[in-house]
Amino acid sequence: MLTTGGSHAQTVPRTPPRESAKRKVSRLQLLKYSMVNVFLVFHILAIACWCMPVDSPLILVGKNLIRPYFLWSGLFQSWDMFAPIPKGANTYIEAIVIYKDGSRSKWTFPRMEQLGLTEKLFKERYRKFADNLVREDADALLPDAARYIARMKSGPGNQVRTVILIQKWSLIVPRADGFYVPEPWDQHVLIGYGVQSEDLK
Amino acid sequence: MTLRGLLRAWNGFFFAEQSPTPIALFRIFYGGLVTATLILLRPDWLSWYGVHGWVTLPTASNLEPGARLNLFSIIPRNDACIEAFFWVSLGSAILLTVGLLTRLNSLLVFLCLTSIQQRNLYITHGGDTFLRLAGFFLIFAPAGAAFSLDRLIRIWRRKEPAHIQPRSPWAQRMIQLQLALLYFVSFLLKIRGAPWLQGTALFYVYHLDELRRFPLPSWFFHPVVLKLGSWSALVVEFFLGVLTWVKEFRYFLLALGVLFHLWLDYSLNIPLFQWDILSAYVLFVEPADIARSWNWIKHPLAERSAKQA
């Protein structure tokens, strides 16, 4: 019986196996196609919503909705290269380092204009970092930077007591005839950081 | 246009199968650029990403709150692991370039690149951002379907024919859209600033000592030249963002874009930025034109070797 039943099932199948497999594949393809379309529509709308500098309440709502996903996935983006207003001053950051014995030394963040071509390639990140260090909304970076300098400058016999970070700047101002003459350098203190012994570990 | 026509256009744009040679070439450029980025970061790797780096992980998390895809917050917090992370990133970028385990390595490269940027966002430039975004869509692309070791292995195992099979280009289109959007948004943000509209923007940019790279001729600093330069940058960005989709203008605009970026690369010291962007230009080249260019290169070489024989 079993054999007969088996042979019957083989000779008269309910649906031909090739056809049912085909149907399964096409159903899978349709599902894949639909999912890809949802993915495309969502991402096109979301990226456009995130990027477009349009002050519309609808865009703002959209931006807030997608923010967690964009921040998590790394799809956040901004394309404000030299925009809307390019940086208007030459700047650099200097650190005054005061040691426990009262001596002082100076350390300057790598300044691209003073480096050779190859060095510039490797050290350019310092330019970007220095630009971000002076941003008001990134104040929290300053203590970390001061601690890093303290660790770098501390020796076994002479530990750093204080790090003072100073921003130096010279405004870029066009002369009346439109040409450029360098302005004198000005400065302001970004942070004076008292180094703790645990900072040096 | 009817709804049916719109759907047909959508399907044609995203799903009409084409040769995967543009996305495969992009994969090679992309992998090469990620590799170069990592090599440039190498000397200061622990300074930027180490436990006691310029920015510590808790500070980075406080400044950029929220859940983030960041492997640095998962791996053990010691410098040995962070060093190992570098070598894994570099290894996967090299494997992606040669196209070995392409899908897995494109995922790994994206994860590593995103983590590196999330760990220290304060040293990234627009080129890095573009690599991150392109990397996301590259995961879904048939990037190993041509010019890859994966394909060679598949041919050797007789799992794939010798001629390249057409594939659906939807992921490639997303990278193309991302590039066009980059130019267009950059244009929109620039025209919000008075210096760009007045034509004085490049005066400031080209007097930033820190950005100077190779020497520039003195005539370039003439106020009139800088003014024309500022406005030209706006025009080029607008056209590249909007008109590259029009077939008749495409190659002319791409050539203009190449000149534009080469000039920026010569004059401004923002390493790899221009190349990060230029790498995606190949996605706008028709596969047939890539094949034609390859034949044009291959033909004289074959001729020369035949003559020598």
CB contact under 8 A, B181 and A48: yes
**For residue range B95-105, what is the model confidence (pLDDT) as tens digits?**
999 999 999 99
Q: Report the C-alpha gap between B177 and A75 in whole angstroms.
A: 14
Closest by Cβ to A88, choosing from B59, B204, B269: B204
Interface test with B, best of A124, A152, A153 (most B CBs within 10 A): A124
Give a yes or no: residue A176 inside a domain.
Answer: yes
Is residue A37, in this structure, part of any structural domain at all?
yes
> Above pLDDT 70, what percent of chain B?
98
Residues belonging to chain B: 309
| B145-149 CB contacts, 8 Å cutoff, 24+ apart | B145/B20, B145/B23, B145/B24, B146/B19, B146/B20, B146/B21, B146/B24, B147/B21, B147/B24, B147/B25, B147/B27, B147/B28, B147/B99, B148/B24, B148/B27, B148/B98, B148/B99, B148/B100, B148/B102, B149/B98, B149/B99, B149/B100
Q: How many CB pairs under 8 A join A and B?
A: 174
What's the mean pLDDT when you consider all of chain B? 96
Residue A78 maps to a domain: no
**Helix spans in chain B (H):** 3-15, 21-41, 45-49, 57-63, 79-98, 102-119, 126-138, 149-156, 170-190, 194-198, 201-205, 223-242, 247-267, 273-278, 287-308
Residues A113, B270: C-beta atoms closer than 8 Å = no
Inside any domain, residue A177: yes
Which residue in A has a C-alpha nearest to residue B40's C-alpha? A122
Do A123 and A24 lie in one domain? The reply is no
Q: Where are the domains of chain B?
A: 18-168, 176-289
What ipTM score was computed for the predicted complex, to two decimals?
Answer: 0.94
Within-domain flag for A15 = yes
Q: In whole angstroms, what is the distance from residue B78 CA to residue B61 CA?
A: 17
Mean pLDDT value of segment B169-183: 98
Q: Do A86 and B195 touch (CB under 8 A)?
A: yes
A14 confidence band (pLDDT: 50, 70, 90)? low
What is the Cα–Cα distance from B119 to B60, expressed in whole angstroms?
Answer: 6
Residue labelled with tokens 């100077």: B212
Dist. CA B59–CA B67, nearest whole Å? 15
DSSP for A120-184 reads HHHHHHHHHHHHHHT-GGGTTHHHHHHHHHHHHH--SS--EEEEEEEEEEEE--B-TTS-B-PPP
Average pLDDT on A61-88 reads 96
With respect to residue A81, please indicate whether it lies within any of the assigned structural domains.
no
Q: Do B47 and A84 make contact, defined as CB atoms within 8 angstroms?
A: no
Q: Which of A41, A73, A105 is the last residue of a domain?
A: A73
**Contact yes or no for B122 and A129 at CB 8 A:** yes
d(CA B134, CA B179): 9
- Please name the member of A80, A112, A180 whose beta carbon is closest to the beta carbon of B210: A112
pLDDT tens by residue, B103-154: 999 999 999 999 999 999 999 999 999 999 999 999 999 999 999 999 999 9
What token pair was written down for B169? 């280009």
- Report CB contact under 8 Å: A117, B213: yes
Please give the Cα distance from B196 to B187 (Å, whole number): 10
Do residues B118 and A74 lie in contact, with contact meaning Cβ atoms separated by under 8 Å? yes
Residues A60 and A122 in one domain: no
pLDDT at A16: 64
A63 has a pLDDT exceeding 60: yes
Which residue of B131, B178, B207 is the best one to mutate when testing the A interface, meaning the one whose CB has the most A CBs within 10 A?
Answer: B207
> Is A148 within 8 Å of A141 (Cβ atoms)?
no
Contact B190 A84 (CB under 8 A): yes
- Tokens for B138? 């590259």
Number of separate domains in chain A: 2
- At residue A105, what are phi and psi to the nearest 5 degrees? -145, 165
Predicted pLDDT of residue A20: 76
Phi, psi of A188 (to 5 degrees): -150, 150
**Tens digits of residue pLDDT in B51-69:** 999 999 999 999 999 999 9
Distance CA B262, CA B107 (A): 30
Average pLDDT over residues A15-34: 81
Contact assignment for B15 to A71 by CB distance below 8 Å: no
Domain span holding position A26: 2-73
Q: Are strands A186-194 and A160-171 parallel, antiparallel or unpaired?
A: antiparallel
CA dist B264 and B126 (Å) reads 14
Residues A131 and A55 in one domain: no
Q: What is the DSSP string of B88-103?
A: HHHHHHHHHHHTSSHH
Residues B167 and B139 sit within 8 Å (Cβ to Cβ): no
Position A187 pLDDT exceeds 80: yes
Phi and psi for A121 in degrees, rounded to 5? -60, -45
* Domain presence at residue A163: yes
Cα distances (Å, whole numbers) of residue B140 to B171, B237, B263: 6, 28, 33
Give A10's pLDDT tier (boundaries 50, 70, 90): very low
Which of A74, A122, A133 is facing B117, going by the closest CB pair? A74
State whether A103 and A135 are in the same domain: yes
Alpha-carbon gap, residue A122 to A136, rounded angstroms: 27
Q: What is the mean pLDDT of chain A?
A: 90
- Check whether B193 has a pLDDT greater than 80: yes
Instruction: Give percent of chain B with pLDDT exceeding 90.
Output: 94
Residues A91-107: pLDDT tens digits?
A: 999 999 999 999 999 99
- Examine the pLDDT at A61 and tell me if it is beyond 90: yes
What pLDDT is attached to residue A17? 67
pLDDT for A19 beyond 90: no
User: Are A47 and A98 part of one and the same domain?
Assistant: no
Taking the CA of residue B182 and the nearest CA in chain A, the distance in Å comes to 6
| Residue A6 pLDDT > 70 | no
The answer to whether residues A101 and A184 belong to one domain is: yes
For residues A102 and A177, membership in a common domain is answered with yes
The answer to whether residues A54 and A93 belong to one domain is: no
Considering the domain architecture, whether residues A109 and A177 belong to the same structural domain is answered as: yes
Global confidence as pTM:
0.92
Q: From CA A28, how far away is CA A142, in angstroms rounded?
A: 54
For position B306, what pLDDT does the model report?
73
- Structure-model confidence comparison of residues B301 and A27, the more confident one: A27
pLDDT at B166: 97
Question: Do the beta carbons of residue B117 and residue A74 sit within 8 Å?
Answer: yes
pLDDT at residue A131 in the model: 96
